[in-house]
Amino acid sequence: MKTLAFAAAAAVAIAALRSEPLPAAEPAPPEVLRGLGFLTERQGRDGGFGLNDGQDPDVANTAIAGLAFVQSGHTPASGDHRAAVKKALEFVLRAVEAAPDEGPRVTDRTGTQPQNKVGPLVDTFLAGMFLGEVDGRTGDPALDARVRAALEKCVRKTERSQEPDGSWNAGGWAPVLGTAFAQQCLTIAESRGVQVDRERLDKAKEYATRVQQEGAQSRPEGAGVELYSNNASIGILGAAVGGGEASAAQKDAFAAGAKRLGDESMLRGFGSNGGEEYVSFMMASTSLAQADGQAYVQWDRNIRGKLAELQNADGSWAGHHCITGRVFCTSSAILTLTAERKADAPTVAKSSGGDAK
């Protein structure tokens, strides 16, 4: 299969040419194209995405949908879905620009499903990730300047909201997933040239290492679900391991977490698939692509088959507990299926064919 052939090539590139961009990404597979089509049809006139059809848009759902488009090869300046990306970007920019400099939030909306389940600051973290991925790629210098200012604002808010233990586990049902989003917000921003407090990133890696050392099972920040804590921890550690910046203890923790991905009972998560499961799959795919190309190939083959079975006829993926919104679940599934496009993520090196034509 072409997808597996590409994954094998990615494994070689990751292992042998860590500092070099990956080969040009293949065109997105059919399931990703159907998912993007679903998302496009659900975008509001204001550029935002809500939980499901007809529901008010919010920053978290809009940002994660934007990430799905960008990682699939579309930017505000290129790709068949350039208009959708630009509209989503404008929605997120308006929210971040309107937010006060003080405080950790980028929206005054509260009680959304992502906030209740992943943590109240998930909008800030996902907005930062999305802005980092489009930074310098809008094709418009004035818009690029707005993106950079908003990204820096999200970084400062994320840094200031870190807990003393290195996590961002403050509220929500499974905030360990929000912690992984926060760390990735900072990592992506740093790779784009934004000044980031390295102590914050180091503390996050120490936290993720303790998760594995103490056991990912039954942790309260993971809602007692091993999948969430395990995959969040390797999601945090993947960039450091892949970039050669991890300590021996961090490498061991990553290896322990990656090994658990072979346990099918662990992969069942809560028992049915909600947005938390899809995010956990995304964390696994991204971290393995960053740090262990051979393991990524095996994992990708497994999870790609599972996601193909779970996709709905309209191109969406749906959650059956907690985060049930199809926009959030579909976006997370697409990010899982396109992880090889950002496999060199210690520098977030894009493949030379990353912009869809």
Listed range (23-37, 82-96, 158-172) with the worst mean pLDDT: 23-37
Any domain includes 38: no
pLDDT on residue 12: 38
pTM, rounded to two decimals: 0.89
pLDDT on residue 320: 87
pLDDT on residue 53: 72
Any domain includes 237: yes
Any domain includes 224: yes
Q: How confident is the model at residue 287 (pLDDT cuts 50, 70, 90)?
A: very high
pLDDT at residue 354 above 90?
A: no
pLDDT at residue 351 above 90?
A: no
pLDDT at residue 258 above 50?
A: yes
pLDDT on residue 222: 96
Model confidence pLDDT, tens digit, residues 128-183: 999 999 999 999 999 999 999 999 999 999 999 999 999 999 999 999 999 999 99
Any domain includes 195: yes
pLDDT at residue 349 above 90?
A: no
pLDDT on residue 344: 42
Average pLDDT over residues 211-225: 95
pLDDT at residue 189 above 90?
A: yes
Any domain includes 314: no
- Domain that includes residue 231, residue range: 166-260
Question: Whole-number mean pLDDT of the chain?
Answer: 89
Any domain includes 37: no
Q: Rounded distance, CA 172 to CA 174, Å?
A: 6
Any domain includes 19: no
Q: Rounded distance, CA 275 to CA 278, Å?
A: 5
Q: Six-digit token pair at 46?
A: 């204001």
Q: Six-digit token pair at 97?
A: 């620009």
Number of structural domains in the chain: 1
Any domain includes 139: no
pLDDT at residue 14 above 60?
A: no
